[in-house]
Amino acid sequence: MKRLKIKVTGRVQGVGFRPFVYNLAKALSLRGYVLNSSKGVVIEVEGNRVEEFLQRLKQSPPPLSDIERVIVEEVSPVGEQDFRILESQEEGSFTHVSPDVSVCEECLGEMLDKTDRRYLYPFINCTNCGPRYSITLSLPYDRPNTTMRIFKMCQKCQSEYDDPTNRRFHAQPNACPECGPSLSFRLINKAFKRCVEEDPLQSTINLLNSGAIVAIKGLGGFHIACDALNERAVEKLRERKRKSNKPFALMAASVEIIKRFVLMDDREQELLESNRRPIVLMRKRPGCEIPEVVAPGNRYLGFMLPYTPLHYLLFYSPPGSPENPLFKCLVMTSGNLKEEPIIHRNDDALERLSGLVDAFLFHNRDIFMRVDDSVVKKELFIRRARGYVPEPIVLPDDGPEVLATGADLKNTFSLTKENYAILSQHIGDMENYETLLFFQEVLENLKALYRIKPIAVATDLHPGYLSRQWADSQALPVTYIQHHYAHAMAVVAEHGLKAPVIGVVFDGTGYGLDGRIWGGEFLWVDTEGFQRLAHLDYLRLPGGEMAIKQPWRTAVALLRGLYAEETEGFLKRLGFFERIDLKQIEMVLSIAENEQFSPFSSGAGRYFDALSSIVSLVDFNTHEAEAPMALEAITLDGVDEVYPFDINEETIPMVISLRRCFQRAVDDYLQDVELEIIATRFHNTMAALIRDTVMRLKSRKGEVKEVVLSGGVFQNSYLLSKTFEYLADTGLKVYFHKSIPPNDACISLGQAYILRERLKRGMNV
């Protein structure tokens, strides 16, 4: 007779782990107990088959779980008569919080079964699916610690909840139409009064069918929805949301329907169907019937499958069905005002979104932690949020508890505890008070949830960043970390690499040590510091921030640098005078050499901006990175040519000049070479200069074996794949982000990792 005490850590709460343990112990005639603690799950088992129990626990745990460690010790038998599930215990260590999970097939089947008591119930869930992070108030994950605490279970639901053999055993959001959350409807635009019925869901469907725009409360916040194939409805939404040309996200009922609109490979289908249910960016199918206004000028469409029962009911409510859904696809864009966080409270939505929508579909299950949809592009994260947060990044070893505030664009923050870094969900751009409040709201929640008390804070070097100003206001020691250094170290942290490594960081903007704007950087990095080894040559940004929104300004300044007194002739031949006001061009030319009005930038993104304008693709960015995205959209496979460029090895750091590259690109354009060829040659050139620069640095730093890539420019799939291809023969191992975005969302991880490593070494911070 043997008794084992087993501690299991990882994602083991809110995923059906205790009932799994209970049923396994019962099947093996073992006695003992299982309980949730703030350290994970604690099990004691006694009997003749405890080793078999341990083996099966490790080999076939519940599908939503993710075991990190199993700690086993033999203890003295106590002679219990049964196996029990005990009340949760409070302890002081790290416990994983499960992300929100899409509705499972079993629940979906029950919801569509006319004989089931949860037929058409929009909040059906079980141990294997449903809300988690978005409703969790505190740990341990039990119903009183969630927003479901206000709903008292009826006798039938309570019976399921108490039955260890039931799929809903200890399913904290368990509910039914008798005792659980419910829908409500509010009409705003009286022109659609004829569509309103007693049933809130049917009213919503009627309005969507009639071309209306409806705000729908979902899992982590509100969506704004309309029929994606109703061009006028989408145009109306774009006008009301002032969405510029930024693409709208789409939702369709099945993979088969999505395949009508996009080209999908196996990996993309796997991501779509995963229980994380991200928005997946995929190539538009030729002749796609989705109106151009959904994603103007974009070769990609972002699709997701329904991930809540409510979403499925929008498609499947009678007379709809899985075989014949009510809509081919719906626009499902974030319910927010421009540059503000997603809205999650009913009263806030009514106050702030009434000018955008014709009606609201509410529910009364509170969202405690709002979280936007995640966005992925095959293996590449664009936005990490619902379905992934708050899963931690596992670091190589333990360290002190610190906070990193990230950057101002695509902000996330990071907290560390033990050997984990917890990245927040996508916060957004720190441009307004609402986003700062969201930042503070999520920070306080995650600190409380994980019992973290940071002893120091890391932030960006940029003196104008709101995230830095907030860090400066805290009663903690502050460490300022250069933007691109943090980018590179985020990859080091993710992969557990041993620095130093070469970091190639290509983005648009980051505050440099010299006070200039950096963004085309080759760095030598480790946790103690970094050295700038090489960079793209500086170009001018006439009007500063205005040049980022108006790429023609950067293009004009670049052309002036190339052609001097011949500039106006080239501007005329390139069509600038037909597209841009003459007085504006003259003004830009007059300030192009004045650093006060035309700051220097080595940002790789600005070179993409300039070429996009030179070849008449995009002169004005209506959303971030529109010009570079337009260039990527026309790249071709099978084009291998590269434009010339120069690397000046005499300077420290080395400087990479693209003068000859742009002269050749201008010549090609004036000689009517296809835009697709020019765009592809330019992308190839950027990848080639990365390879050639890295090779020169390798010869100088003979001990280097690894290179890391980071920065928002590497969201460009063509450039990323071409860079990997070109670096394949360098003898270096190349690393890229695997579980967080390469854009500024990764900055906080790099900052946190640098700070905690310095504190571990006793360095002054």
Are the C-beta atoms of residues 420 and 392 closer than 8 Å to each other? yes
Give the pLDDT confidence of 547-569 residue by residue, as tens digits: 999 999 999 999 999 999 999 99
Which pLDDT belongs to residue 241?
A: 84
Looking at the DSSP bridge assignments, the partners of residue 110 are none
Mean pLDDT value of segment 59-74: 91
Which pLDDT belongs to residue 140?
A: 79
pLDDT at 423 over 70: yes
Mean pLDDT value of segment 283-310: 96
Mean pLDDT value of segment 60-85: 92
CATH number of 535-686: 1.10.357.160
Mean pLDDT value of segment 562-581: 95
| Tokens, residue 613 | 């304008």
Give the pLDDT confidence of 232-280 residue by residue, as tens digits: 999 999 999 886 899 999 999 999 999 999 999 999 999 999 999 999 9
What are phi and psi for residue 534, nearest 5 degrees? -160, 160
- Name the segment(s) of the chain with CATH classification 3.90.870.40: 183-375
* CB atoms inside a 10 Å sphere around CB 35: 17
| Tokens, residue 555 | 């293009």
Give the pLDDT confidence of 112-159 residue by residue, as tens digits: 999 999 999 999 999 999 999 999 999 878 899 999 999 999 999 999
CATH number of 2-85: 3.30.70.100
Reduced to 3 states (helix: H, G, I; strand: E, B; else coil), residue 673 is coil
Mean pLDDT value across the chain = 95
pLDDT at 2 over 80: yes
Give the pLDDT confidence of 529-548 residue by residue, as tens digits: 999 999 999 999 999 999 99
Cα distances (angstroms) measured from residue 542 to each of 286, 409, 552, 616: 39, 21, 10, 19
Count of residues making up the chain: 765
The rounded distance, in Å, linking the Cα atoms of 539 and 560 is 11
Are the C-beta atoms of residues 453 and 447 closer than 8 Å to each other? yes
Q: Which amino acid is at 200?
A: P
Give the pLDDT confidence of 363-396 residue by residue, as tens digits: 999 999 999 999 999 889 999 999 999 999 999 9
Mean pLDDT value of segment 311-319: 97
* CB atoms inside a 10 Å sphere around CB 171: 24
The rounded distance, in Å, linking the Cα atoms of 151 and 170 is 15
Give the pLDDT confidence of 495-512 residue by residue, as tens digits: 999 989 999 999 999 999
- Name the segment(s) of the chain with CATH classification 3.30.70.100: 2-85
- Name the segment(s) of the chain with CATH classification 1.10.357.160: 535-686
Strands (E), 128-278: 183-187, 214-217, 222-227, 249-251, 262-263
Are the C-beta atoms of residues 141 and 36 closer than 8 Å to each other? yes
Strands (E), 305-433: 330-334, 359-363, 375-377, 380-383, 393-399, 403-404, 414-423
Class of domain 183-375: alpha beta
